[in-house]
Amino acid sequence: MTDHRDALDVGAIRADFPILSRMIGDKPLVYLDSAATSQKPTQVIRAESDFYANHNANAHRSIYRLGEEATELFEGARAKLARFFGASDPATIVFTRGTTESMNLVAQAWGRTFLKPGDEILLTDLEHHSNIVPWQLTAAVTGASLRYIPLTDDGQLDLSELGSLLTERTKILSVTGMSNSIGTITPLRQLVDAAHAVGAVVAVDAAQLAPHHPIDVDEIDCDFLTFSGHKMLGPTASGGLFAKRELLETMNPMFGGGDMIREVFRDHSTWNDVPYKFEAGTMQIAQQVGLGAAVDYLEALGMSSVRAHEEEITRYAIECLLQAGATIYGPKDASIRGGAVSFWFRDIHPHDLATVLDDEGVAIRAGHHCAQLVMRRFDTSATARASFYVYNTKEEVDVLVEALARAEEFFRH
Q: Which residues are catalytic?
A: 370
How far are the Cα atoms of 202, 209, 225 from residue 331, in angstroms, in the given order?
24, 16, 24
Buried b / exposed e over 45-64, threshold 16 CB at 10 Å, is bebbebbeeebebbbbeeee
| DSSP state for residue 162 in the 8-state scheme | H
Contacts of 127 (CB under 8 A, 6+ apart): 174, 175, 176, 205, 371, 373
Q: What angle do CA 45, 69, 281 make, to 5 degrees?
A: 80
Determine the Cα–Cα distance for residues 137 and 325; give it in Å rounded to an integer: 41
Q: Check if the beta carbon of residue 92 is closer than 8 Å to that of residue 275.
A: yes
Q: Check if the beta carbon of residue 35 is closer than 8 Å to that of residue 387.
A: yes
How far are the Cα atoms of 81, 124, 289, 299, 361 from residue 46, in angstroms, in the given order?
19, 39, 10, 18, 27
> How many residues comprise the chain?
413
**Amino acid in position 31:** Y
Determine the Cα–Cα distance for residues 279 and 97; give it in Å rounded to an integer: 11
Adjacent-strand bridge partners of 29: none
